[in-house]
Amino acid sequence: MKRREIFAGNWKMYKTRETAKSLVKSLLQGAALTENREVVVFPPSPYAAEIASLCGGSVISVGMQNMYFQKEGAFTGEVAPAMVRDCGCKYILIGHSERRHVFGETDAEVNKKVKAAFEHSLVPMICVGELLEEREKAKTETVLEAQVKEAFNGIDAGRAGTAVVAYEPVWAIGTGKVATPEIAEEAHRYIRSVLEVLYGKPAADDIPILYGGSVKADNIAGLYAMENIDGVLVGGASLEADSFLKIINTR
């Protein structure tokens, strides 16, 4: 049996209050129950509380796409970790490539957010991934190693074992260029080897590593068949119930 599986949808800055609600209602109706699989949605922050209350007691968990690492203070426009919890969220997405590359989030900030997540009983879903030019210069492993090590800096094995990692090659996000199952599996295996050096095999084996980047209903099967791919983080194809349901009901 695979380790714990997570099929997640990142809605980014899309949807209205009404279309977000109707999407999640369709997902609640159509998502098949599987003991080992959790479905997670990341709605835009203003809708998180309402979506979380619709999902209460269901197979679908809710997360927020971003937060600040400070507890509270004069940080106009930011969301505190306790507020994320207060909205009924279980997960927090940290270090998504759009946060890193559009908003300049650094590895050090990612690490502070990971620490803040654990301090507030949130499950961090930590995104890592290389740029196209880094892959072309054969720097993929160096980049992944640095991102993983920095994200988990100062986190003990007990906590690390409850985190989730998402491998999202930046060149595959929103581009329609999905990584082949072999390329993704190679990166996942490498990420797991880095986690193993940090935490030992049992903890590293517990951490789900999700693939993200142009996942669609018609390419999920090959990815899901890979030993170290424990689920997916889906952007575009998670915005419509039909396509996301096909993905989350993959067996």
Q: Write out the residues near ligand PGA by the rule CB under 6 A.
A: 10, 168, 173-174, 212-215, 233-237
Residue placing its CB nearer to ligand PGA in the complex, 43 or 213? 213
Q: Name the active-site residue from 38, 130, 134, 168.
A: 168
- Nearest distance in Å: CB 189, ligand PGA: 21
- Nearest distance in Å: CB 57, ligand PGA: 26
CB-CB contact of 212 with 233 (8 Å): yes
Q: Name the active-site residue from 5, 38, 96, 98.
A: 96
Residue placing its CB nearer to ligand PGA in the complex, 10 or 159? 10
CA distance 11 to 20: 9
Mark whether 96 is an active-site residue: yes
Q: Which residue is nearest to ligand PGA (CB)?
A: 235
Residue placing its CB nearer to ligand PGA in the complex, 81 or 235? 235
Closest CA to 167 of 149, 150, 152, 179: 179
- Nearest distance in Å: CB 240, ligand PGA: 12
CB-CB contact of 23 with 239 (8 Å): yes
What is the helix (H) or strand (E) element at residue 72, kind and residue range? none
Give the CA distances from residue 197 to residues 112, 157, 192, 231, in Å, rounded to whole numbers and listed in that order: 21, 11, 9, 23
Q: Enumerate the active-site residues.
A: 96, 168
